[in-house]
Amino acid sequence: MSLNVLVVDDEALARARLRTLLGDCVAPAAQVAAEAADAVQAMTALQRGSFDVVLLDIRMPGLDGIALAQRIAALPRPPAVVFVTAHSEHAVQAFELEAMDYLTKPVRLERLQQMLQKVERLAQSERALKPDLTEEMLIIQDRGGTERVPLAEVLYFKAELKYITVRTARRSYILDGSLNELEARHAAQFMRIHRNALIARRAVRALEKHFDPEEGEGWAVRLRGIDELLAVSRRQLSAVREAMVG
C-alpha cells in the first residue's frame, strides 16, 4: 500500500516538483492525495481526508507552517508532519513540535525516500501497539456493571427463558436480547444448531452421537475450550455436517 500525502506549499512549482518526486518513490510508494496552497486549504483537506504524512512549507501567506503544524498536532488522529523548506534556521523549532523530519529544498529523491521509510516504520509500530478498534464487542450488563466481551471469544449463544447465555472459554454471561437478531447480525461467524442455540463456526471440534432425555437419540456438537455438549436438532444436522466439511 502507498502512503497518502498532503502537500502544503504556496508555490505551485514546488508542489509539482514534490508530486513528481513522490511518484518516483518505491518501498514504500507514496501518492499525493491532496494539495494546499495555504493553512486554510490544508485544514479543509485534513478534515475531509485521511493522510499518513503532511509535507509542509514554513513560509506561507497567512498562517505559517510552524503555526499550522501546531494545529495539526491537536487533531484527534494527526498525520506525521515533515517540513519542506528552503530555510534551515527553523529546524530546532520544527523538531520541538515533534516533526517527523526536516527537508531542505531542493529535495533529493533519496532523502525523500528515507523520510517515507521512517513514516512507514512509525505507522507499523503504532498499529502493533494499538488494539484492533474494529474488533466487535458485545456490551453486557453484569452485576450492576458493564462488560465488553469480544465477539471472537464467544463459543455459543443459548436461549434460556427470557435471556440468552453467552459462553466463552472462561465464563458465562447473561444477555438480554433475541437469538434471531444475533443470528441475523452474526451469520458469518455463528450458525444455528437448534431452535435455542447458535455456535461459533470456528469453535466446532466434533459431531457426536448423543442421547437427550427429552429428544432421545440424536447428535451433539463438541466445541473447543469447553466440555459441554450442545444438542443438534434433526433439522440443522445436515447444515452442521456441511460446515464441518467446509
Distance CA(209)–CA(196), nearest Å, equals: 19
Judged by DSSP in three states, 21 sits in helix
Beta strands 172-175; 137-142: pairing state: unpaired
What pLDDT, on the 0 to 100 scale, is given for residue 112?
A: 93
Is the per-residue pLDDT at 216 higher than 80? no
On whether the CB atoms of residues 60 and 35 are closer than 8 A, the answer is no
Which position has the grid cell 525516500?
A: 113
Q: What are the pLDDT digits (tens) for 136-184?
A: 888 887 766 788 889 999 999 999 888 999 999 989 999 988 899 899 8
Distance CA(141)–CA(85), nearest Å, equals: 55
Q: What are the pLDDT digits (tens) for 33-43?
A: 999 999 999 99
- Three-state SS for 114-147 is HHHHHHHHHHHHHHHHCCCCCCCEEEEEECCEEE
On whether the CB atoms of residues 20 and 31 are closer than 8 A, the answer is no
What secondary structure letter does DSSP report for 201? Answer: G
Please provide the size of the chain in residues.
246
The domains found in the chain, sorted by start residue, are 3-129 (3.40.50.2300), 137-245 (2.40.50.1020)
Is the per-residue pLDDT at 131 higher than 70? no
